[in-house]
């Protein structure tokens, strides 16, 4: 069999992104807002914040894959306004206070943002050709342009990071059920 019959890097990335997306959807099924906002310890993230973070990461990595060209769900979808979050927040490095004080929004709204970001991420992944895998975007990675990641690294990072967060959500649900169930 020739290598073409096995697909390419896009198929692998999209399969992984699809897999954790289905697992995340299962982990969110039946989730109540009280449970989504519960913090297992005073220093922990809660499910609602983790889900928002996952959306922000998919949105930002999708933008990176596109070289900063094209829409961002966060900006064009006006999700910062819709969720009541400062548009400059990128979903990374928030303090415990910011997690605790996450706006009083519904799980459905945060899930809709994650889905809007994903709807832009998937076409961005589909457009990455083999010749682009070693490309970097230092003009976007302004905090450390000399360490801008390759598109190959980003394609691997997205499913790794968001699979971990999906597991965190499932784990927090288990802790909540053990404590309150």
CATH of the domain at 71: 1.20.120.450
Q: What is the pLDDT of residues 159-173, one digit of tens each?
A: 999 999 999 999 999
Residue 85 within any structural domain of the chain:
yes
Question: Which segments of 29-151 are extended strands (E)?
Answer: none
Length of the chain: 181
Global pTM value: 0.94
Residue 149 within any structural domain of the chain:
yes
Q: What is the pLDDT of residues 97-144, one digit of tens each?
A: 999 999 999 999 999 999 999 999 999 999 999 999 999 999 999 999
Rounded to an integer, what distance in angstroms lies between the CA atom of residue 82 and that of residue 77? 9
List, in order, residues 6 or more apart from 89 with CB less than 8 Å away.
56, 80, 98
Give the side-chain half-sphere CA count within 13 A for 35.
19
Q: Using alpha carbons, select from 162, 145, 134 the residue that is nearest to residue 23.
A: 162
Q: Could you tell me the residue range of the domain that residue 175 belongs to? A: 41-180
List, in order, residues 6 or more apart from 88 with CB less than 8 Å away.
none
Count structural domains, the chain: 1
């Amino acid at each position: 069999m020739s290598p073409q019959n096995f697909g390419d890097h896009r198929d692998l990335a999209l399969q992984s992104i699809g897999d954790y997306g289905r697992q995340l959807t299962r982990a969110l099924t039946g989730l109540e807002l009280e449970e989504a906002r519960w913090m297992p310890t005073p220093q922990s993230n809660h499910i609602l914040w983790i889900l928002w973070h996952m959306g922000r990461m998919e949105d930002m990595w999708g933008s990176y894959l596109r070289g900063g060209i094209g829409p961002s769900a966060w900006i064009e979808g006006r999700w910062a306004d819709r969720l009541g979050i400062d548009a400059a927040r990128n979903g990374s490095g928030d303090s415990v206070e910011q997690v605790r004080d996450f706006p009083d929004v519904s799980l459905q709204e945060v899930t809709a943002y994650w889905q809007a970001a994903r709807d832009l991420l998937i076409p961005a992944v589909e457009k990455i050709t083999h010749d682009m895998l070693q490309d970097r975007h230092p003009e976007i990675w302004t905090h450390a342009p000399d360490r801008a990641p390759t598109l190959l690294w980003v394609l691997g990072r997205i499913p790794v990071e968001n699979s971990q967060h999906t597991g965190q959500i499932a784990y927090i649900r288990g802790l909540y059920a053990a404590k309150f169930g």
